[in-house]
């Protein structure tokens, strides 16, 4: 085997020009595969990122009874419906005969004839730590969870305190990302500081401006609960902070807040679903799991609320919150569905793009393979006499076959390696000079190498077998 490899390398160096041209062909083929798959994957990832960043993946869980304005969560309509849906369903009862053929009416009527969910558990249970554990560990496709708790607290009598009462707001590490906080000054708390319940605080920019106008709020502090909370960061929360002008809001690690407020439950839990397409499913699962955990009877309404981001988005675009909820309650999974459809079609487009480019790359690899076959055929023809000689000296068919196969595979493998290098350079240029998004998948690299080797085997076999089946007498006579 080693001898065969040496022989192959030797004969390739002896046909240097032909070999290097074929090598070029092979390496361009492989490089094409590498570059194209890299670009394709990059494009797909970019699409994914864009979908993720634009699409709603945030689910908010709050405690409480929200009967009056209908149920906001998509997927809750079946059991309770919104006020509009209920009203409509009531009318459907009269129009029995005239609307019988209408499928939509039929569905509405079926919904209406379900047992009414009318009972309310009061007071609503708060969100407990075991429910937090359930959300973060037992629901599939959940990427992150973060809970919060808040309440007013009287500060310690210290000269450094600008006010006497503050609203402490305990949060968990993933919270700022989920809420879209912008860091204005300083830093956020590290996971470690959260875990250690460090006496550090982050404040809204409005509070900083109100109490330390014209100077940095960093390194100032609040004294409460016998501790001094140093301000390490100033953030813009994007929420209405008007109330903070009278009672300043300060953000501190969750555990600290829970201890200070002596409240070991959550006011709100935010859940980030793994992808846009999963948001509805995750929300539905959360609701079912919470109902189950809280042992709510079928005729009792949820004493909590699961909201998706799209609901929050509508009021922020100027829609009246009550109208937004009504719309959400009645146009089933409207926003979510359109998002998921868009995501699906975008992904499909990305995949089609990748397949298209990849098939072009495969064609160039095929051309490379034909190059290998060509040089091998030329080689067999040009070296017929050598083959005859080797046979006369005792080479068996399989020896000759092996010699030429090894030669073809060596050629293809060298071409493949050169192609990988070339492809890497190509991707580097695409990434750093052209600023295209690229992604390298080890699987694609493996496929490129395997394809190169397979090319050697497939296109080398014909010529090699031709060489091996030569008649030694005829081969020896060849010029």
Which residue ranges make up the site for another protein (CB under 8 A)? 3, 10, 14, 385-386, 389-397, 399, 472-473, 476
Q: Are 83 and 322 in contact (CB under 8 A)?
A: no
Q: Residue 96 and residue 109: Cα distance in Å, rounded?
A: 9
- Enumerate the β-bridge partners of residue 253: 171
Closer CB to another protein, 11 or 150, in the complex: 11
- Enumerate the β-bridge partners of residue 142: 273
Closer CB to another protein, 391 or 427, in the complex: 391
Q: How far is the CB of 401 from another protein (least distance, A)?
A: 12
Closer CB to another protein, 233 or 388, in the complex: 388
At residue 36, the 3 state secondary structure works out as helix
Relative to beta strand 268-273, strand 304-308 is unpaired
Closer CB to another protein, 234 or 395, in the complex: 395
Closer CB to another protein, 327 or 387, in the complex: 387
DSSP-assigned states of every residue in 48-98: HHHHHHHS--EEEEEES--GGG---STT-TTTT--HHHHHHHHHHTTTTTT
Name the helix (H) or strand (E) containing 176.
Answer: helix 175-179
Q: Residue 344 and residue 205: Cα distance in Å, rounded?
A: 39
Q: How far is the CB of 7 from another protein (least distance, A)?
A: 8
Q: Are 271 and 142 in contact (CB under 8 A)?
A: yes
Q: How far is the CB of 372 from another protein (least distance, A)?
A: 22
Q: Residue 85 and residue 72: Cα distance in Å, rounded?
A: 12
Q: How far is the CB of 402 from another protein (least distance, A)?
A: 11
Closer CB to another protein, 360 or 473, in the complex: 473
Q: What are the Cα distances from residue 325, in Å, to 111, 271, 315, 370?
A: 19, 20, 9, 64
Q: How far is the CB of 37 from another protein (least distance, A)?
A: 40
Task: Output the six-digit token pair for 87.
Answer: 């009203």
Q: Where are the beta strands (DSSP E) in 180-296?
A: 182-186, 200-204, 221-224, 227-236, 249-253, 268-273
Q: How far is the CB of 358 from another protein (least distance, A)?
A: 41
Q: How far is the CB of 454 from another protein (least distance, A)?
A: 28
Q: How far is the CB of 395 from another protein (least distance, A)?
A: 5
Closer CB to another protein, 159 or 394, in the complex: 394
Closer CB to another protein, 348 or 469, in the complex: 469
At residue 335, the 3 state secondary structure works out as helix
Q: How far is the CB of 18 from another protein (least distance, A)?
A: 15
Closer CB to another protein, 14 or 243, in the complex: 14
Q: Residue 36 and residue 31: Cα distance in Å, rounded?
A: 8
Q: How far is the CB of 8 from another protein (least distance, A)?
A: 13
Q: Residue 143 and residue 229: Cα distance in Å, rounded?
A: 31
Closer CB to another protein, 363 or 392, in the complex: 392
Closer CB to another protein, 120 or 397, in the complex: 397
CB atoms within 10 A of CB 395: 18
Task: Output the six-digit token pair for 46.
Answer: 């970019």
Q: How far is the CB of 40 from another protein (least distance, A)?
A: 44
Q: Residue 286 and residue 141: Cα distance in Å, rounded?
A: 11
* DSSP 8-state code for residue 434: S
Q: Residue 23 and residue 21: Cα distance in Å, rounded?
A: 5
């Amino acid at each position: 085997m080693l001898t065969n490899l040496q022989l192959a390398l030797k004969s390739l160096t002896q046909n240097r020009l032909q070999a290097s041209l074929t090598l070029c062909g092979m390496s361009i083929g492989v490089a094409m595969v590498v570059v194209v798959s890299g670009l394709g994957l990059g494009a797909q990832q970019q699409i994914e990122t864009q979908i993720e960043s634009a699409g709603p993946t945030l689910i908010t869980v709050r405690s409480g009874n929200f009967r009056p304005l209908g149920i906001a969560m998509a997927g809750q309509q079946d059991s309770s419906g919104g006020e509009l849906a209920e009203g409509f369903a009531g009318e459907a009862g009269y129009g029995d005969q005239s609307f019988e053929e209408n499928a939509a009416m039929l569905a509405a009527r079926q919904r209406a004839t379900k047992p009414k969910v009318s009972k309310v558990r009061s007071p609503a249970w708060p969100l407990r730590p075991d429910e937090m554990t359930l959300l973060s560990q037992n629901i599939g496709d959940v990427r992150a969870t973060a809970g919060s708790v808040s309440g007013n607290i009287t500060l310690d009598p210290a000269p450094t305190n600008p006010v006497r009462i503050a609203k402490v707001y305990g949060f968990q590490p993933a919270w700022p990302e989920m809420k879209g906080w912008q860091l204005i000054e300083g830093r956020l708390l590290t996971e470690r500081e959260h875990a250690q319940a460090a006496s550090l605080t982050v404040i809204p920019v409005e509070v900083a401006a109100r109490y330390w106008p014209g100077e940095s709020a960093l390194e100032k502090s609040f004294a409460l609960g016998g501790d001094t909370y140093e301000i390490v960061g100033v953030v813009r929360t994007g929420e209405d902070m008007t109330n903070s002008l009278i009672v300043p809001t300060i953000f501190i690690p969750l555990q600290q807040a829970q201890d200070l407020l002596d409240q070991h439950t959550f006011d709100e839990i935010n859940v980030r679903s793994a992808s846009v397409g999963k948001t509805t499913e995750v929300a539905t699962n959360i609701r079912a799991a919470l109902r189950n955990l809280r042992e709510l009877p079928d005729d009792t309404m949820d004493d909590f609320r699961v909201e998706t981001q799209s609901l929050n988005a509508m009021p922020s675009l100027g829609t009246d919150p009550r109208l937004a909820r009504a719309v959400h309650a009645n146009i089933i999974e409207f926003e979510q569905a359109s998002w998921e459809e868009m995501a699906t079609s975008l992904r499909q487009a990305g995949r089609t793009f990748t397949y298209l480019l990849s098939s072009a790359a495969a064609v160039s690899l095929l051309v490379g393979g034909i190059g290998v076959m060509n040089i091998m055929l030329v080689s067999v023809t040009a070296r017929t006499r050598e083959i005859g000689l080797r046979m006369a000296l005792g080479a068996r068919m399989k020896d000759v076959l092996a010699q030429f196969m090894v030669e073809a595979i060596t050629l293809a493998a060298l071409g493949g390696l050169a192609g990988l290098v070339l492809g890497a350079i190509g991707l580097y240029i695409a990434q750093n000079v052209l600023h295209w998004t690229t992604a390298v998948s080890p699987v694609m690299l493996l496929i490129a190498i395997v394809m190169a080797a397979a090319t050697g085997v497939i296109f080398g076999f014909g010529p090699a077998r031709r060489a091996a089946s030569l008649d030694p007498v005829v081969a020896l006579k060849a010029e």
